[in-house]
Structure 1
């Protein structure tokens, strides 16, 4: 039964896209379940199409090209979804490479625990020249969770996930395109799913590697993204007009910024490598406070065209 589609959004990263695609083609245990691998090309110029057409000739499963010419992460995911009717959707990012049992582990976990969304762990990979920030950056681009497969209380991001379409991805365009330039489209999706009583799971063996390109493997980029992550809870509460919730998250942010601001200063004076993690927590705290329009970093969509 071919009931799974793998969707890979991409933007001008054909080398890493090819690596991601070949890692999906190597999913021997689960390949018979895959109805299509969909590449959602977010480049207005359609730069991924020649690669997809070349690989499609010998691909072990159907390889579909879907053009999403308006740059934006939510738009790309919606266009990818529109290209398939599969009831189960696996998301893999174009800078990730799946381990050989990645998809099988996600599918097994979904059956075992019956979650609407299942996430897997990510190993962060960064270039060799990142110096004292290497450990922090590898952790930042990675993702760890429980040692065993099972239900979890909170969601992670869309990269390396399996979703039940009927419950987790309702409607023709479930990702909010208002988040195209700033990201956070998965925060809004999962907040709505949680409100409907959705359940989340963790597949401990569904490993992928995420390879951060040089222009992203910097402390400045990571802290900017950490600030954006910090904005997520406050923005989600504001979108729901939950003003007491906004006030609570802002208060948490003030406390985090105060504690980690002092820790950052001390670790900076001591020149400890662990100061990068303190900066990260400081940035997330500030994000909870400065969540309003005008403070949102532009990390996705059109802003990526210059660096992709």
Structure 2
């Protein structure tokens, strides 16, 4: 049996489902003002994270800070991005999102961040039923996927205002797993749901803030991380360029009304914009408590 997330229930207003990037969110049509701005992204050197890094480089962002554990993939990402986008400065740090003292140190040292993207995730190589999971494994999921996200956001919010001005953005790379039952992935699903809830609380706790918070499902992307535990024929996969371009759109002015919400990169942005009044009138809509009835 092949899983197709296009068959998963979604808001009735989402009439168009995208498996690839499209003109409406392409770098050539973006309304995001990248001039003088800095992107800070964890796991930004490979897979979905690299796609996001590259899309922001394409729109002319001034600086990209990439955090990843492996120095060799960081070096390759820096080389590729700076060769293709010479006007973007790329800085790299070999570190783990769960190394909280080190993450605090790095964030303070880079000083200015306009767009924060917690993209790193923990996903065990083996799918395990809940009753057979170890406490240690559950703790690993929550340390990286929940506490790691919380720590990044809290340190980011403590930074002074950036010279570039304009609203800042937190774009948490989440997963459809936050609202699905996936056999053997109870801890992963629970951790993604918990991280979404934290992002919503950050957004709603600071209603007058100039920081906008979003969680988004990047799509069904067959990354090396996924390849470790899932066969390729299990699902219908989508193009890795989609989450990169969608992230840039999400950081722009058209998406500000989605502050605190959880959305999918595959949902058409004009279908989303049509929901602006509904989102404004219902604080729970497109959050963890969402009802699609």
Q: Which band: TM-score by shorter chain? A: 0.3 to 0.5
Q: Tell which structure's C-alpha radius of gyration is larger.
A: 1
TM-score, structure 2 as length reference? 0.34
TM-score, structure 1 as length reference? 0.33
